[in-house]
Amino acid sequence: TKGVENRSLMTMTQVMSDVAGEAYLESKIQVAVLSGPSFAKEVALEVPTAVTIGCTSAATAGWLQQVFNSLYLRVYTSTDILGLEISASLKNIVAIAAGICDGLQFGTNARAALITRGLAEMTRLGCALGAERETFYGLSGLGDLVLTCTGDLSRNRHVGIKLGEGKKLSKILTEMSMVAEGVKTTQSVHGLARKIGIEMPILEQVYDILYKDKDCRTAVSDLLSREPKEE
């Protein structure tokens, strides 16, 4: 699974370590993370896909690479587990924002700008937590972000589209048969960003839309009316 736990603001591997405690550390179990632009339906159909496997042990990551790599699944390795987990969580928030733009019929210019500035927010928070900047420009960052913000199979983008069309969040979630992880992740990451003092304007607006019932057009207007600055 993926995400940031609401109570502790920890990633899933951090939760595992916290719950198991010394037993986890003494067992020397190698935990790996699989991330990247990969809708399950397309992977099952053996459509060409590329992902990244992350593990603190480069040797273990390399072994898993050999296990999963195939003619239709290209697997890369990384030792930046934190970066993979953070990017996998944050892209869902940006996807909700991108969906809102689509629901408001703002066009491709707005979506492209949102993806780009969303990536900047993801990178800013990730680096502050100790992740490697390069990870956010790889498959688990930029790659998965583009897929989730543009793909028709994206559940988080679907939530955003419906919000942009004027539907209430409770009704949207009730009508969905699967979970849109970005909704709860927005709450967790909002608390995390506030805790460590990282500015994330897009996240702030998505949070206000989801949890304060803010009007979508007002949120977009508030984003665009911020003081201009260097990129």
Show which residues are catalytic: 91
Q: Are 70 and 82 in contact (CB under 8 A)?
A: no
Distance, in Å, from the CA atom of 62 to the CA atom of 56, rounded to the nearest integer, reads 11
Strand pairing report for 73-78 and 49-55: parallel
**Dihedral sign, Cα of residue 115, residue 120, residue 124, residue 126:** positive
Strand pairing report for 49-55 and 32-35: antiparallel
Distance, in Å, from the CA atom of 53 to the CA atom of 65, rounded to the nearest integer, reads 7
Provide the β-strand partners of residue 32: 55
DSSP 156-217: HHHHHHHHHTT--HHHHHHH-SS--THHHHHHHHHHHHHHHT---HHHHHHHHHHHS---HH
Distance, in Å, from the CA atom of 144 to the CA atom of 152, rounded to the nearest integer, reads 13
3 state DSSP class of 34: strand
